[in-house]
Amino acid sequence: MADALLDTAIANWQPRFTANGVDASDYAVITASMTSWDDWCAAWSRGAEVHLALGDVALNDDRHRSAGEYFSRAALYFHFAKFLFVHDPDQARAAHERAVTALTRALPLLTPSGRREEIDFDGARLVGILRVPDGEGPHPTVLLIAGLDSTKEEFRDVERAFLDRGMATFSLDGPGQGEVEWTLPIRPDWDVVGAAVVSHLQGLPEVDAERIGVWGVSLGGYYAARLAASDLPIRAVVCLSGPYSFGAAWDGLNPLTRRAFEVRSYSDGDAEARRRALDLNLEGHAPRISAPLLVIMGQRDRLFPWTDAQRLVDESAGPSQLLLLEEGNHGCANLTYRHRPYSADWMAARLDAPGSTPGVR
């Protein structure tokens, strides 16, 4: 008997996975080994183990750069093993812990290297990864914000786009995300979260406190807009495929996404999750955005209507731009070449990064 959840996952997620570092052949082999959604976490974890083993071999041979790449990819596979696998928390937690361990091994071996940072917040700790480009600092810095099912383990290729243009990156796990999903629920008031993170960044010698930008994807696009609507010193913001109102999109979300929000918002059932989803709304906040804003959306997004992006651009008070991709899916993962370099160029220009392109405004 066909498994509808598994069929939906395999059919829709390949662009997302391969855009963020999963080998296309691995995707085909790993997904072909499954017969039901219950197989998902174990299958991707087995795939991750292959890259861990290759990393160990490379490390023993003093091929440190290759080892870092293998460990980073293993972390990504472990992350994808658990990213919407919320019905089996024991399996998900085990894969999550392997993802964190693999990324921790990768960080000192990456080029440029990464450093783990922890931020006290609301009785728990937020976790971020700082990577700094070559050259003398302090550096313009981009805060990268994940969505409902993404985490800092997914951002190596996104980081590279900014690092190559002279910007530091800080990839964050916030409330309900990655390492923090086990201690803090999803919350709508990301201006409060952002205040703690920006304060921490301003205290780091590698970061130019006057040149901080924000990039967020999916629900992270909503979070990025909330930071932009606050009084925080944010120079520029990129919102990729974010909702204007998460609650308004609720009925059209797939069962895996709805269930993940229920779990990560610490809701007691679908009805409470629906009510909490309605709190994630930019109404009244969008008009407070005065910093330069780039909103990227795909017209074939299955989660959020592209008109959400147009509304955000129309209501923001500062200079704003909509990059609407007619063939783009959610996150425009099928068209990264159309938006990832562009958004990095756009951000570099607004942060006056050394890798910015003259005339790109």
CATH hierarchy code of domain 112-356? 3.40.50.1820
Q: Which residues neighbour 260 within 8 Å (Cβ) at sequence distance 6 or greater?
A: 84, 86, 148, 149
The kind and range of the H/E element at 344 are helix 336-350
Average pLDDT over residues 208-237: 98
**Is pLDDT above 70 for 352?**
yes
Which residues are known to be catalytic?
A: 218
Residue range 244-259, pLDDT digits in tens: 999 999 999 999 999 9
φ/ψ (deg, to 5) at 222: -65, -45
**Is pLDDT above 60 for 229?**
yes
What per-residue confidence (pLDDT) applies to 11? 85
1-108: CATH superfamily: acylaminoacyl peptidase (1.20.1440.110)
Average pLDDT over residues 279-296: 98
**Is pLDDT above 90 for 24?**
yes
What per-residue confidence (pLDDT) applies to 4? 85
Task: Using pLDDT thresholds of 50, 70 and 90, give the confidence band for residue 1.
Answer: very low
3-state secondary structure 119-141: EEECCEEEEEEEECCCCCCCEEE
Domain boundaries, the chain: 1-108, 112-356
Check for a shared fold between 1-108 and 112-356.
Answer: no
Could you tell me which of 160, 181, 187, 3 has the C-alpha nearest to residue 99?
A: 181
Average pLDDT over residues 281-295: 98
